[in-house]
Amino acid sequence: MKNNLIGKLHSLFSVPTDDLELVRAQFRAFARQIPLLYFILATNALAVMFIFAKFGHPWLSVYAPSALCCLCLVRGVAWWRIGRSQVPDDIAIRHMQRTNRLAFVIAVAFTAWGLSLYTFGDGDAYAKAQIVFFLALTMISCNFCLMHLRSAALNVTLVGVAPFSLFFFFADDGHFRAASVNLALAAIGMIAILMIYYRDFAHLVASRRSLAEKQAETQRLSDENSRLANMDALSGLPNRRALMTRLDQCSRSAGATPTAVVYIDLDGFKDVNDTYGHSTGDRLIDIVAKELLRVLPEGAMLARVGGDEFAAVISAAEAERAARAFASSALAVLARPIRIGDRAVQIGASVGVCCTEADGCDAQELFRRADIAMYHVKANGKSGVRIYTPDLDLERQRQQDIEDQLRRALRADELEVVYQPIVGAMENRVVAVEALVRWPRRPEGELTPDQFVPIAERSGLINQLGLFVLRRACEDFLDVEAIKVAVNVSPAQFRDPDFERAVMRTLLETGFSTARLELEVTEGYLIDHPQRAAAVISFLKTLGVAVALDDFGAGYTSIAYLQKYGFDRIKLDKSLVDRVTIEKSTGVLVAGAIHMANALDMAVTAEGVETEEQAYVLGLAGCQRLQGFLFGRPMPLGAFLAMAAAAAPAPTAVSAA
């Protein structure tokens, strides 16, 4: 307990060094006030010296105060200079420790000088009263000036007040007893105020430190959030937002430095994802990012802007040349097999490039143009580089115009459905029709299906268009019970989660028999979305709707696919039919395919039949239905019904029609 008390007393009378933030705050405040302290001491001492100079005792009245004044002036100037400079923490602590010791010495010196002058000086009562006033005022002033250095203030208070109070309590028969008591009480009050002020000052410094720490933490979190908001977590690259910010900065920067955008879309990434799983796909993205960074020009920025899409911003004097070189390097790098674990995957890339031109397009437009160039590559065979040119926008605008016109056509009844006859190979008569859409009443001129159907698929209008064809065919052949109806289904329709229910609603609303409807789907969607395709086909077959695999032989459909989906029919692609009579190997292949399908309880239709020889060979091979120009071109409903009513034997009569 004794040691604890001694420790507390020692801390009161020494400069604290454990809290450097408090030390800095004390030093800054103290350095501003201590020159004033020395000025007050020197001024008061000069005033007393002026009064007592005429009473003799030059050592007490002149020389001693002059020396003290010189000391005060030297220390005051020194502290004024110190207060105007940056001082390291250790030097600041030494300055305050030195001042703490000097405060004790100077307080003793001024007190001893004042009491000696009062005792041995020859001054009158008025002069002696000035000494009392000088000592009291000096001690009070010094305490307030030293409040930020608690130890020095306590030293001055105790060294000055105790001798003053004791001396003047008894001096001159107690004439100044009231003054000594008042100063003692004032000293007690000053000590209390000093302790409270120092505590509050320390708390303020601690609060400011805490606030600064919180602000720093807030700023750190803000910086981290900003970094995360602008970073792609999977690849570690900047994301689309960061890329657009950088691109906007480049487009706004003074000097008009040429800027290029290189837009890269991976070819075959989805196949890797679906075949090997998302973990392999994620690993592939990470590897691709590193490979692209390896060939990225210095100073350029690479970002991941989508699932399998990357983009680079290059801002330099030779931006276009650098962009072309990077695009070629990226294409070469991504064309090589990429090893992931124990497997090697093969992908490619479609790359679009756009550079700033005289029209001064903004960041969004520059990015859009690179995107347009990339999609041009994607739509024309993939694995290539295309530099943006204005004609790409002309094509895009043409497609946009067609899309708008198609929306109008669906509302304004500009579309028609035509029907191509399908004959039975054995019956030699029409047994079914395939419904096909046409756009004859387009004000801008008729378009063929291969011109507007792909646009409908990309725009999402294919769902509305496909249901229009289905409904019209069901209504047209509702009462022609001897004829079955086949309707093509676009892969984009299969992606619609409401597709099967829309088919069911159409059949219910038109009253068309499900047993007379056959929907044709191409194999591409089966490969890309096997689970969704299996669910849709299963639902349709539950309704009683037959499902046919269209364009068989044009792709890579295996026996496993045929067994998995349980098709009711396969339709041989025209590319096989064209060669069936001129290539022996094709004839064998077609015959084998027909026998395989029949063995799996699937009927076979051959499309694109144009000669009687083809019809004969296909019928001989076991094909149940035939379709092609030999039996009739797609025709309006009236022409078809007239042909059917004629009941002429196919193919000759039908062909003539």
> 106-162, pLDDT tens digit by residue?
777 777 777 777 777 665 666 667 777 777 777 777 766 676 676 777 777 777 677
Rounded to the nearest angstrom, the gap between the alpha carbon of residue 221 and the centroid of all alpha carbons in its chain is 16
> 13-44, pLDDT tens digit by residue?
566 666 677 777 777 777 777 787 778 778 87
Q: What percent of the chain shows pLDDT beyond 70?
A: 85
Domain ranges of the chain: 9-210, 240-388, 412-656
Interhelix angle 89-120/125-145, rounded to 10 degrees, is: 170
Mean pLDDT (the chain, rounded): 81
Tokens of 568: 């009711």
Which range among 7-21, 38-52, 483-497 has the greatest average pLDDT?
Answer: 483-497
Give the separation between CA 43 and CA 46, rounded to whole angstroms. Answer: 5
In the DSSP assignment, the letter for residue 514 is G
The whole-number pLDDT of residue 167 equals 74
pLDDT at residue 415 is higher than 90: yes
| 113 CB burial (10 A radius; 0-12, 13-18, 19+) | buried
Give the separation between CA 151 and CA 128, rounded to whole angstroms. Answer: 31
pLDDT band at 341; cut points 50, 70, 90:
confident
Contact 131, 60 (CB under 8 A): no
Which superfamily does 240-388 belong to?
Reverse transcriptase/Diguanylate cyclase domain (3.30.70.270)
Contact 387, 356 (CB under 8 A): no
> 547-564, pLDDT tens digit by residue?
998 888 766 555 666 777
Q: What percent of the chain shows pLDDT beyond 90?
A: 28
Task: Tell me which of 647 and 590 has the higher pLDDT.
Answer: 590
> 83-106, pLDDT tens digit by residue?
777 778 777 777 777 777 777 777
Q: Where are the alpha helices (DSSP H) in 171-308?
A: 177-229, 240-252, 269-276, 278-295
Q: Which CATH architecture has domain 412-656?
A: Alpha-Beta Barrel (3.20)
Residue given tokens 């027909």 in the structure block = 594
Which range among 54-68, 98-112, 299-313, 377-391 has the greatest average pLDDT?
Answer: 299-313
Cα dist. 83→79, 198, 379 in Å?
6, 21, 74
Residue 545 — φ and ψ, nearest 5°? -85, 135
Long-range contacts of 505-510 (CB under 8 A, 24+ apart): 506/467, 506/470, 506/471, 506/474, 507/474, 507/543, 507/545, 509/471, 510/471, 510/474, 510/475, 510/478
Beta strands in 439-531 (DSSP E): 484-488, 517-522
pLDDT at residue 654 is higher than 60: no
pLDDT band at 656; cut points 50, 70, 90:
very low
The whole-number pLDDT of residue 24 equals 73
